[in-house]
Amino acid sequence: MLKDLDITPDDPEELRAVNRLLADEVKSQALMIEKLKHQLAGQNRHRFGVRSESRDQLNLTFEEDEAIAEAASEQTQPQTPSAEDKPSRRHSRKPLPDHLDRHDEVLSPGEDCTCCGGKLKTLGEDVTEELEYVPGRFVVNRIIRPRKACAGCEAIVQSPLPSRPIERGRPGPGLLAHVLVSKYADHLPLYRQSQIYAREGIDLDRSTMADWVGRSTALLEPLADEIGRIVRRGDALFADDTPVKMQAPGQKKTKTARVWTYVRDERPWVGQSPPCAWYQFTIERKGEHPVSHLAGYKGWVHADGYSGFNGLFGENKADEMACMAHVRRKFVDVFASQGNAIAEEAIRRTAELYAVEKEVRVKSPDVRVALRQARSKLIFDDLETWLHAQLPKISGKSPLAQAIRYALGRMPKARPYLENGHLELDNNTAERAVKPVAIGRKNWMFAGSEGGGKAMAIAFTLIETAKLNGVDPQAWLTWVLAQIADHKITRLDELFPWRYAA
């Protein structure tokens, strides 16, 4: 330490040495202060406004997702229980409240016997009550099926019960859609929904709704898979991932799982395909997962610098398009914490690139390339040259130097957008697609199991694809669930949200 040095002011050489030592220590301390201020600014941005969750609330959501996964498994592997078998789960079947409006639908077998032509007389009737939700209120649909006997041959006839999304349940398609959208689009866990419905006099246990969610997502899975195939047929797509908590099997603690999103959106260059978002859930963040999800894909993939995406790129594989928004974000963080002039200039120069992008949006690929070559290329080249010139002027260990090195490492992989009108300057399309997952994560939406995470990915695929196409997801899912049980799997294209809108 300096205080321990025996300094003799009469010795010029020693004074120069001490000056150098002081200068080095001041530089080191300044660098440390700069780093700490940068870290503190980042922590403050992430910390404030975030509410911590209680263990009881987490357990509620874990239990919901476990029940969802179990129901989804039962829906995809139906079993007919024998007389001795007892159901693994029992749900309460309390009478539906009397105060709800009843809508009657009579399914009559007719007036004449199909066997002998004799007249039918009514013996009685079976009434099936179905709890339904229409926007803003609950109703009860009563399906009335008279039993009739022929006066001539005494045959007894009755119309069959129409196919329903959940055969042994009482929810209508509108109610199933409402529960799905409330959980995955409005971020309301099932126990909260149960509390809301109780205020309206509706007794719906969260275990019952978990069963509905699991069975509904299992029923809708082929439609979500088909959306995934559409995404992978595009010339370019956007890829990103975000963490979610998942309960570790057999343990009370959680582990970090991932939700991956892949988006095809050709609207910026007036493509013909409707926009689609495809989500996948994995229990960890290994690079093998995106490689598996996009196996055989040879188009362009917009992605951040995560090394797990590297397996996608190479000869006879996909091509990489880096994200300039990530580059800009590094400089924004430095400027926010330090007010650095170099960072501010980097932000300004990047903004010039985005100004051109506003002009090329919703134009053909050829027009986009022409404008980018005429205006963006010079800005891009100058920014890259300028960053190279700034790096030797600053400390190599500073956050600013790290931001510059990151930019110089990613910009060569962002350059292809200048020559390809199908590409975007950033990966913001995918980042917008993972935002609903992040919002739900802050509202105690956790994956209680791998099966619950899979159900979540299916729901997000359907809901977010509907939103991308300007379609009300609840209205569309009501329409789909009303017919998908009897719909041929070879005609799934008839159920897409853009078909519903048409």
Strand intervals (E) in 248-390: 254-264, 276-282, 300-302, 319-321
Give percent above pLDDT 70 in the chain: 88
- SS3 label, residue 142: strand
Beta-sheet pairing, 319-321 with 300-302: parallel
Any domain includes 265: yes
Residues in Cβ contact with 109 at an 8 Å cutoff, skipping those fewer than 6 apart: 120, 146, 148, 157, 158, 159
pLDDT of residue 84: 40
Residue 45 predicted with pLDDT over 70 = no
Give percent above pLDDT 90 in the chain: 60
CA distance linking residue 502 with residue 495, whole number of Å: 11
pLDDT of residue 167: 79
474 φ, ψ to 5°? -70, -45
SS (H, E, C) 321-333: ECCHHHHHHHHHH
Any domain includes 480: no
| Residue whose tokens read 């020693």 | 14
pLDDT of residue 55: 44
Structure tokens at 25: 């220590």
Any domain includes 409: yes
CA distance linking residue 214 with residue 442, whole number of Å: 22
Enter the pTM of the model. Answer: 0.80
pLDDT of residue 83: 40
CB atoms within 10 A of CB 460: 25
Any domain includes 383: yes
pLDDT of residue 53: 40
Distance between first and last Cα of the chain = 77
Whether residue 221 contacts residue 458, with contact meaning beta carbons closer than 8 Å, is answered with yes
Average pLDDT estimate for 97-114: 83
Q: Which residues pair with 318 in a beta bridge?
A: 313
- For residue range 141-193, what is the model confidence (pLDDT) as tens digits? 998 999 999 988 889 999 998 888 887 778 999 999 999 999 999 999 999 99
pLDDT of residue 324: 98
Residue at 437: amino acid letter = V
Residue 88 predicted with pLDDT over 80 = no
Residue 69 predicted with pLDDT over 80 = no
Residue 388 predicted with pLDDT over 80 = yes
pLDDT band at 58 (very low <50, low <70, confident <90, very high): very low
Average pLDDT estimate for 21-43: 72
Residue 93 predicted with pLDDT over 70 = no
Residue at 210: amino acid letter = A
pLDDT of residue 153: 86
235 φ, ψ to 5°? -70, -30
Any domain includes 439: yes
For residues 76 and 233, the model is more confident at 233
Q: Is 229 exposed, middle or buried (0-12, 13-18, 19+ CB in 10 A)?
A: exposed
For residues 214 and 14, the model is more confident at 214
CA distance linking residue 474 with residue 133, whole number of Å: 11
The mean pLDDT value of the chain amounts to 87
Residue at 287: amino acid letter = G
C-alpha 39: how far from its chain's center?
A: 29
Whether residue 231 contacts residue 258, with contact meaning beta carbons closer than 8 Å, is answered with no
Q: How many domains does the chain have?
A: 1
pLDDT band at 49 (very low <50, low <70, confident <90, very high): very low
Q: At 74, which helix (H) or strand (E)?
A: helix 55-76
DSSP-assigned states of every residue in 81-131: --SS---S-----PPPPTTSEEEEEE----SB-TTT-PBEEEEEEEEEEEE
pLDDT of residue 286: 94
Residues in Cβ contact with 332 at an 8 Å cutoff, skipping those fewer than 6 apart: 343, 347
pLDDT of residue 440: 85
396: containing domain: 230-454
pLDDT band at 9 (very low <50, low <70, confident <90, very high): low
CA distance linking residue 149 with residue 156, whole number of Å: 4
pLDDT of residue 62: 56
Average pLDDT estimate for 396-425: 96
pLDDT of residue 46: 63
Residue 421 has what DSSP assignment?
T
For residues 408 and 63, the model is more confident at 408
Beta-sheet pairing, 120-134 with 137-150: antiparallel
Any domain includes 380: yes
CA distance linking residue 367 with residue 168, whole number of Å: 57
Judged by average pLDDT, the poorest of 238-252, 294-308, 312-326 is: 238-252
**CB-based contacts of 270-275 (< 8 A; 24+ apart in sequence):** 270/362, 270/363, 270/364, 271/234, 271/235, 271/422, 273/230, 273/233, 273/234, 274/230, 274/468, 274/469, 274/496, 274/497, 274/498, 275/465, 275/468, 275/469
Any domain includes 306: yes
Q: Is 452 exposed, middle or buried (0-12, 13-18, 19+ CB in 10 A)?
A: buried
Degrees to nearest 5, angle at CA 463 with 459 and 467 = 165
pLDDT of residue 63: 63
Whether residue 258 contacts residue 282, with contact meaning beta carbons closer than 8 Å, is answered with yes
For residues 280 and 80, the model is more confident at 280
Any domain includes 34: no
Residue 499 predicted with pLDDT over 90 = yes
